[in-house]
Amino acid sequence: MRRRSTATGSPNSDVTITDRTEDYAYLNVQGLKSRELLQKITSADMSNEAFPFRAAKEISIKGTPLRAVRITYVGELGYELYVPKDKAVEVFDEIMEKGEELVLVGLQALGSLRLEKGYRDYSHDLDNTDTLIEAGLGFTADMKKPGGFIGKEHVASERSRNKARGGMTKRMVSVTCKVAGCYLHHG
């Protein structure tokens, strides 16, 4: 991002990029009752119509403004919450107090569930040598997006090559291991 924003002649040369990673905590509320739970603790409209899949918006929990993103890696309804780190414990406590039948899990569980669903994760399953088409993510490229996107020509070229040769020569797939205790991850 910095390289592209500061390039000579870039239309974004007046952009300032600041890494704020250390300023926020990340809480993940996932599962069939996640909308119901969040609606109990925020005045924001959490309905599907007001907050569709892949939407992001500012909401407030216990007086704390935070960014909520309706996205999931577990294959069910879910939200990522980006909370100012000095308020994270208060927000977490509110979620725990109002949530019924909550189960605390870590990133290992999230990783296992996303693998089961076939969701890819950059740096674990994908890297810069994989293409959108090979990874089964071609649907994420909006070829009609006004102004295009970085890499559009490459995606279009790959689609044309695959069509001309009658199919793909390389494709990412999920592997199912039927041996008890088997856990596959990373690449």
Please classify residue 28 by burial: count the beta carbons closer than 10 Å to its beta carbon, then call 0-12 exposed, 13-18 middle and 19+ buried. middle
Among the listed residues 110, 105, 91, 109, the one whose alpha carbon sits nearest the alpha carbon of residue 42: 91
> What domain range is 159 assigned to?
120-187
Last residue within a domain, chosen from 117, 135, 164: 117
Can you give the pLDDT at residue 29? 95
112 in the same domain as 132: no
87 in the same domain as 53: yes
104 in the same domain as 140: no
Number of compact structural domains in the chain? 2
Can you give the pLDDT at residue 91? 98
Residue 49 in domain:
yes
Token digits of residue 101: 């039948």
Q: Which of 5-9, 40-44, 111-115, 174-178 has the lowest mean pLDDT?
A: 5-9
Confidence of residue 187 (pLDDT cuts 50, 70, 90): low
Last residue within a domain, chosen from 61, 93, 117: 117
CB-based contact 138:132 (threshold 8 Å):
yes
Domain holding 60: CATH number? 3.30.1360.120
Residue 43 in domain:
yes
Residue 61 scores a pLDDT above 90: yes
Residue 8 in domain:
no
Q: What is the pLDDT of residues 84-135, one digit of tens each?
A: 999 999 999 999 999 988 999 988 888 888 888 888 888 888 888 899 999 9
Residue 144 to residue 125: CA distance in whole angstroms = 27
β-pairing, 24-30 with 78-84? antiparallel
44 in the same domain as 104: yes
Alpha helices in 77-151, H assignment, sequence order: 88-98, 107-117
Confidence of residue 9 (pLDDT cuts 50, 70, 90): low
Can you give the pLDDT at residue 12? 65
Among the listed residues 71, 47, 42, the one whose alpha carbon sits nearest the alpha carbon of residue 59: 42
CB-based contact 75:16 (threshold 8 Å):
no
Q: Which residues contact 6 (CB under 8 A, 6 or more apart)?
A: 13
Residue 102 to residue 100: CA distance in whole angstroms = 5
Q: What percent of the chain has pLDDT over 90?
A: 60
105 in the same domain as 45: yes
C-alpha radius of gyration, the chain, whole number: 20
Question: Per-residue pLDDT averaged across 136-149, rounded?
Answer: 92
Residue 180 in domain:
yes
Residue 167 in domain:
yes
Last residue within a domain, chosen from 117, 138, 155: 117
